[in-house]
Amino acid sequence: MATITVEGFGEFQIEKGRKLVTALEDNGVDILHRCGGNAKCTTCRIEVLEGDFGEMNEKEKAKLESAGLIDQNIRLSCQVLVDGDVTIRPVMTVTSEGKDAGPRPSEEL
């Protein structure tokens, strides 16, 4: 298990290897994921405040580079697997943006 601390939402114990976006949603974080977890929209982005999720996959890296977000401690929660203790801040939520979350992402990357 890993401890994921989410600014404004609390601290959660999440199984290692679980996709971050679905773990957040299942723990009451109203994170957006408008493209359904396919690394196409960046609405599920989070800012890493403490800790590290490891290397980015090519899909995530390409999307963040194209959006100009590659060097800002930003990750796409739909492309991150929980691996250890991390503190994060969701950038876009249903509450802050007033939009539907989007289709539920699968657990697969």
pLDDT tens sequence across 79-91: 999 999 999 999 9
Could you tell me the CATH number of the domain that includes residue 28?
A: 3.10.20.30
**104 domain residue, yes or no:** no
Domain boundaries, position 30? 2-97
**106 domain residue, yes or no:** no
- DSSP labels for 41-95? S-TTEEEEEES---PPPHHHHHHHHHTT-TTTTEEEGGG-B--S-EEEEES-BHH
pLDDT tens sequence across 25-57: 999 999 999 999 999 999 999 999 999 999 999
* Whole-number pLDDT of residue 99: 95
pLDDT tens sequence across 59-104: 999 999 999 999 889 999 999 999 999 999 999 999 999 999 999 9
**80 domain residue, yes or no:** yes
* Whole-number pLDDT of residue 72: 84
Number of compact structural domains in the chain: 1
